[in-house]
């Protein structure tokens, strides 16, 4: 017989294994319950990447078992292909540098690209 | 209630050569941001660097320290 804690731990490991991009957060993407979770959701949505989300708030044991597995004390936690990528700070930093788009295998939104100071060329202003 | 000075001292005492700059994000003594520069971070991933700083505080993270936002690097 496994304990409820072991069952939660197994369920977390299965969720991480089954979803290429999975975010453990406080609240839901539609209704985040913490500013750090909200900002991480915004970054993922800005990149247009599909992701699974798990609300850790309904049972304190979810956070306890998650942190024991990941060796990471805070929420949110983003996993990509089974690996912890980071929490809000690292995700924001990686988004701004373009690394997150690379990790996720998506295009960095053009208007957010770092060092993209030059005004974009448009067809319209050539027609004037 | 932890203070920015206390957090700075704990980080600098636990990580050799570290220089920490800590701010209280909302003045409430529970949400902090720290920038930590330490020679031993060289060659570590960001995850490993942040884990090193979180380890200084152990269970205080999520306890008296509700949130500790981090920026880490090996050189100033």
Residues of A in contact with B70 (CB under 8 A): 89
Res. A6 pLDDT band, cuts 50 70 90: very high
Asked if A72's CB is within 8 angstroms of B46's CB, the reply is no
Q: Where do the domains of chain A lie?
A: 4-127
User: Tens digits of per-residue pLDDT, A30-81?
Assistant: 999 999 999 999 999 999 999 999 999 999 999 999 999 999 999 999 999 9
Topology of the domain covering B4-73: GMP Synthetase; Chain A, domain 3 (3.30.300)
Res. A19 pLDDT band, cuts 50 70 90: very high
Residues of B in contact with A86 (CB under 8 A): 46-47, 50
Q: Does residue A125 register a pLDDT over 50?
A: no
pTM of the predicted model as reported, rounded to 2 decimal places:
0.83
pLDDT reported for residue A115 = 43
HSE toward the beta carbon, residue B28, CA cutoff 13 A = 9
Q: Torsion angle, CA of A49/A12/B70/A44, rounded to 10 degrees?
A: 10
ipTM score over 0.85, yes or no: no
User: Tens digits of per-residue pLDDT, B16-36?
Assistant: 999 999 999 988 888 999 999
A contact residues 33-72, partner B, Cβ 8 Å cutoff: 36, 71-72
| Of the listed ranges A13-22, A26-35, A101-110, the one predicted with least confidence | A101-110
Q: Where do the domains of chain B lie?
A: 4-73
Contact between A53 and A22 under an 8 Å Cβ cutoff? The reply is yes
Q: Does residue A111 register a pLDDT over 70?
A: no
Task: Please list, in sequence order, all residues whose beta carbon lies within 8 angstroms of the beta carbon of residue A108, skipping any fewer than 6 positions away.
Answer: A47, A98, A101
Superfamily of domain A4-127: Glutaredoxin (3.40.30.10)
Report the candidate in B6, B59, B11, B56 with the shortest Cα–Cα distance to residue B37. Answer: B11
């Amino acid at each position: 017989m496994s304990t409820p804690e072991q069952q939660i731990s197994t369920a977390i490991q299965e969720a991480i294994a089954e979803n290429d991009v999975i975010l453990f957060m406080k609240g839901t993407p539609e209704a985040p319950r913490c500013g750090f979770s909200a900002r991480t959701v915004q970054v993922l949505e800005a990149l247009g990447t599909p992701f699974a989300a798990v609300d850790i708030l309904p049972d304190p044991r979810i956070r306890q078992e998650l942190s024991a597995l990941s060796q990471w004390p805070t929420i949110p936690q983003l996993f990509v292909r089974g690996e912890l990528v980071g929490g809000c700070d690292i995700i924001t930093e990686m988004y701004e540098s373009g690394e997150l788009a690379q990790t996720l295998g998506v295009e960095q939104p053009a208007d957010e690209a770092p060092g993209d100071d030059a005004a974009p060329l448009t067809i319209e202003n050539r027609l004037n | 209630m932890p203070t920015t000075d206390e957090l700075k001292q704990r980080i600098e005492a636990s990580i050799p050569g570290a220089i920490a700059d800590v701010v209280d994000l909302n003045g409430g003594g529970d949400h902090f941001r720290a920038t930590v520069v330490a020679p031993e971070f060289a060659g570590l991933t960001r995850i490993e660097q942040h884990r090193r700083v979180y380890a200084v505080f152990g269970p205080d993270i999520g306890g008296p320290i509700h949130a500790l936002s981090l920026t880490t690097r090996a050189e100033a």
